[in-house]
């Protein structure tokens, strides 16, 4: 939602800027307020776009819990005035209720009047599930709202978190009461209020600075936790740096020491510097261009593979709100697979595939075809067996007649990725990653995803969603189907060729 920042309303600190910017990085927060052009040119990632879309979808379902609710459709200061009008007319449920007070500005997903207790309830809607660990940022978010509303004279008696019920399974029409689950977080919010009040004052102080803050402490964070303006704030840090060392986020003291010693490039790290057994190989190959290959360990791993060999890859669609009967929130629903089969060492490689192209649950048809394509003996090679294994478990739950076969597949899985994640093979160009996209260019440089219209699983999911639900014309549908098949086929062919390259090692 487009909340006002100091550049728009001049004197208001919005909840969004406080939660998403200040708590992330104070310098990023200052830039967002005072130099928005720097932040605006940073595109959202596909993952960030997906999170936003999911949040909007879950919030729309949460509103169905209160059919009598009134929606504040305006924004900024007009929304504050419209909220007051609903309060004056004694509305008991207000969606997007908006308040400003003491230089603060917040919008509440669902503000609900408790007639019995004569107080208001803040309902914060999140696109997470009831079994997820309650994130601190969710509590911080709700606490900011409570502070703003109470400053505005609203009596808040309870704060609730509304999330998706992880135990929910779709069976026909969805009842929002079954889909969603409320958690009382009032005590956690109240315990955090003093800290948030102090942070609010600090955020106001930083926002009012005339000059850009000199420090961005993201320099001491691994890549996952750096702010969006990290590259702007730290142009001295290489694109591939010590921040990319495997599991460096679990070694904060080491990262701080490297930064303080100005060891920003991995090649800056002294040879005698002590690293963990996981980190040391990556740093060594980067510094020396050596290639670490543990032939005995690789042969031992590959020796567990039995013919016939099946190379399997799924593409999946994870909907926040289940689309198909029998599915739960965020379930990875397999809609496609590619399968390369090698019956014997000297026989020809055979490719088979499945792509669901109808607006119906793909998990029945996919499982039935998989049963035909995979025999009862032989190894099933995948890249990340945790993911493929969970898909098989979910397929078994919805296909009772094939459950024994599908569970049996999990007993036959061989995770080719583990050869690289266990660091039996380490190359500087992997850059600490064991993803197939990192390994393939090194071991099989003649294969590439670059020429494909679909280049990753996120794009595959998005395109399949368009193909099934967006009423595209025939030619566009056929093109997406062809692109999906080419992408998924390359995933399993990549595994075949990486496996062959490993077998050729001397």
pLDDT of 448 reads: 96
Strand 332-342 to 119-129 pairing: unpaired
Alpha carbons within 13 A on the beta-carbon side of 19: 19
Across-strand partners of 334? 316
pLDDT range class, residue 134, cuts 50, 70, 90: low
Tokens of 447: 């294969």
pLDDT of 8 reads: 43
Domain boundaries, the chain: 6-207, 219-285, 299-503
pLDDT digits (tens, 9 = 90+) for 263-277: 999 999 999 999 999
pLDDT digits (tens, 9 = 90+) for 195-207: 999 999 999 999 9
Give the chain's mean pLDDT: 94
pLDDT range class, residue 6, cuts 50, 70, 90: very low
pLDDT of 416 reads: 98
- DSSP letter for 211, please: S
Strands (DSSP E) along 12-91, which ranges? 13-14, 70-71
pLDDT digits (tens, 9 = 90+) for 443-455: 999 999 999 999 9
The Cα-based distances of 492 to 311, 340, 349, 423 in angstroms read 6, 6, 11, 22
CA 155 – CA 119 distance, rounded (Å): 6
CATH of 6-207, one of 3.30.1490, 1.10.10, 3.30.450, 3.90.320: 3.90.320
Other beta carbons within 10 Å of 285: 21
- DSSP letter for 18, please: I
pLDDT of 215 reads: 83
pLDDT digits (tens, 9 = 90+) for 280-336: 999 999 999 999 999 999 999 999 999 999 999 999 999 999 999 999 999 999 999
Name 482's Cβ contacts closer than 8 Å, sequence gap at least 6: none
Other beta carbons within 10 Å of 59: 19
CATH architecture of 299-503: 2-Layer Sandwich (3.30)
Say if CB 416 and CB 445 are below 8 A apart. no
pLDDT digits (tens, 9 = 90+) for 172-199: 999 999 999 999 999 999 999 999 999 9
pLDDT at 339 over 90: yes
Its pTM stands at: 0.91
pLDDT of 4 reads: 38
pLDDT range class, residue 43, cuts 50, 70, 90: confident
CA 373 – CA 338 distance, rounded (Å): 10
Q: What percent of the chain has pLDDT over 70?
A: 97
Helices (H) and strands (E) in the chain, counts: 20, 14
pLDDT of 485 reads: 98
CA 102 – CA 35 distance, rounded (Å): 24
pLDDT of 133 reads: 64
Better-scored residue on pLDDT, 224 or 497: 497
Strand 156-164 to 119-129 pairing: parallel
Other beta carbons within 10 Å of 506: 4
pLDDT range class, residue 10, cuts 50, 70, 90: low
Judged by DSSP in three states, 292 sits in strand
Among the listed residues 308, 353, 339, 379, the one whose alpha carbon sits nearest the alpha carbon of residue 493? 339
CA 389 – CA 413 distance, rounded (Å): 8
CA 99 – CA 148 distance, rounded (Å): 7
pLDDT digits (tens, 9 = 90+) for 74-84: 999 999 999 99
């Amino acid at each position: 939602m487009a909340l006002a920042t100091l550049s728009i309303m001049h004197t208001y600190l919005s909840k969004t800027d406080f939660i998403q910017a200040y708590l992330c990085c104070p310098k990023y927060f200052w830039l967002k307020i005072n130099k928005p052009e720097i932040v605006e040119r940073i595109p959202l990632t596909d993952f960030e776009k997906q999170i936003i879309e999911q949040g909007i979808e879950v919030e729309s379902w949460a509103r169905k819990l209160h059919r009598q609710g009134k929606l504040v459709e305006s924004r900024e200061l007009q929304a504050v005035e419209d909220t007051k009008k609903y309060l004056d007319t004694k509305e008991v449920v207000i969606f997007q209720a908006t308040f400003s007070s003491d230089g603060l500005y917040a919008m509440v997903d669902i503000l609900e009047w408790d007639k019995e207790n004569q107080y208001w309830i803040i309902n914060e809607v999140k696109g997470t599930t009831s079994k997820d660990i309650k994130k601190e940022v969710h509590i911080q978010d709700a606490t900011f709202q409570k502070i703003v509303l109470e400053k505005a004279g609203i009596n808040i008696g309870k704060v609730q978190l509304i999330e998706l019920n992880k135990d929910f399974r779709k069976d026909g029409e969805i009842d929002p009461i079954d889909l969603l689950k409320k958690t009382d977080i009032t005590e956690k919010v109240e315990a955090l209020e003093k800290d948030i009040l102090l942070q609010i004052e600090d955020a106001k102080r930083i926002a009012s600075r005339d000059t850009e803050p000199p420090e961005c402490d993201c320099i001491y964070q691994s890549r996952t936790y750096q702010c969006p303006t990290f590259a702007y704030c730290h142009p001295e840090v290489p694109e591939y740096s010590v921040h990319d060392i495997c599991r460096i986020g679990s070694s904060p003291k080491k990262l701080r020491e490297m930064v303080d010693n100005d060891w920003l490039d991995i090649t800056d790290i002294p040879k005698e510097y002590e690293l963990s057994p996981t980190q040391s190989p990556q740093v060594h190959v980067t510094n020396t261009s050596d290639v670490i290959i543990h032939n005995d360990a690789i042969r031992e791993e590959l020796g567990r593979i039995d013919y016939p060999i099946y190379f399997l890859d799924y593409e999946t669609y994870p909907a926040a709100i289940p689309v198909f009967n029998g599915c739960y929130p965020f379930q990875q629903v397999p809609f496609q697979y590619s399968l390369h089969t090698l019956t014997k060492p000297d026989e020809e490689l055979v490719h088979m595939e499945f792509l669901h192209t109808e607006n119906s649950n793909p998990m029945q048809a996919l499982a039935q075809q998989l049963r035909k394509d995979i025999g009862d003996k032989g190894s099933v090679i995948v890249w990340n067996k945790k993911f493929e294994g969970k898909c098989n478990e979910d397929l078994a739950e919805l296909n009772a007649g094939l459950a024994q076969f599908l569970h049996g597949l999990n007993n036959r899985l061989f995770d080719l990725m583990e050869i690289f994640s266990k660091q039996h093979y380490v190359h500087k160009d992997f850059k600490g990653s064991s993803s197939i996209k990192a390994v393939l260019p090194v071991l099989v440089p003649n294969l590439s995803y670059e020429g494909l219209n679909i280049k990753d699983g996120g794009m595959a999911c998005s395109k399949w969603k368009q193909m099934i639900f967006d009423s595209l014309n025939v030619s566009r549908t056929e093109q997406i189907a062809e692109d999906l098949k080419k992408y998924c086929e390359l995933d399993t062919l990549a595994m075949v060729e990486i496996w062959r390259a490993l077998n050729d090692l001397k």
